[in-house]
Amino acid sequence: MATNEVLLKNDTGAAVLTFKSSVYSPTAINDIDPASSTTVDLTLDEGGTGLADGAAVNSDQVDLGAVRAASYRVVAALEWFAAVTAGLAVDVYWSASNNSVVTDGNPGKPDGVDGLYTGDGGGTVAESVEHMQKIGTFRTTDLVGVQIAEVGLFSPVARYGQLIVFNQSGTLLCGTDDIESCIVFEPIIVDIQAAA
């Protein structure tokens, strides 16, 4: 009996999403952004002062498409300019929505526009992100500089959404700039081979 192999492959084209600021320009050793990826605005260096411990940002809303990958690999490069304690967290969430209007239908009520996220208007950031889909946690080392880590593998539950980054590293993230910081969504494609 002929059988079909089911393989997985990583999409490297425009379906790859890179969440980064307009000034993103990393050194080669810290570059995780595929050249053909689609850029989504995400400013981690809010107001040129960095993202404080306990603060969060959200990205612009993203349209993943009516037909999209079932899962995405999420990897991040984040930079610290001062001492950071190993084992602390930067948590990454996805606020999924079926609504193309950026402000509407978003769990946790982010506004769909790149900027600070302060919660749903009633709860704290820590309370409000619990309404979202958690992608994963970036665990710190004590390296001062750019750290690169796998954040998670996740399946988006709706066509639209926005990324939320919640700094709980105990230290200012991207203290003077976010030139070398970004988060990449890499679609994982199921590739069904012809029967042998």
User: What are 55-87's pLDDT values in tens digits?
Assistant: 999 999 999 999 888 899 999 999 999 999 999
The residue written with tokens 């910081």 in the block is 181
Structural domain boundaries of the chain? 6-190
What does the alpha-carbon distance between residue 154 and residue 135 come to, in Å, rounded to a whole number?
Answer: 6
What does the alpha-carbon distance between residue 187 and residue 11 come to, in Å, rounded to a whole number?
Answer: 5
What does the alpha-carbon distance between residue 90 and residue 164 come to, in Å, rounded to a whole number?
Answer: 10
Q: Domain 6-190 in CATH: superfamily?
A: Galactose-binding domain-like (2.60.120.260)
pLDDT single digits (tens) 177-186: 899 999 999 9
Mean pLDDT, residues 152-164: 95
Q: How far apart are the first and last CA of the chain?
A: 9
CA dist 115 to 78, 160, 163, Å?
A: 17, 18, 11
Q: What pLDDT sits at residue 2? A: 61
Alpha helices by DSSP H, the chain:
125-128
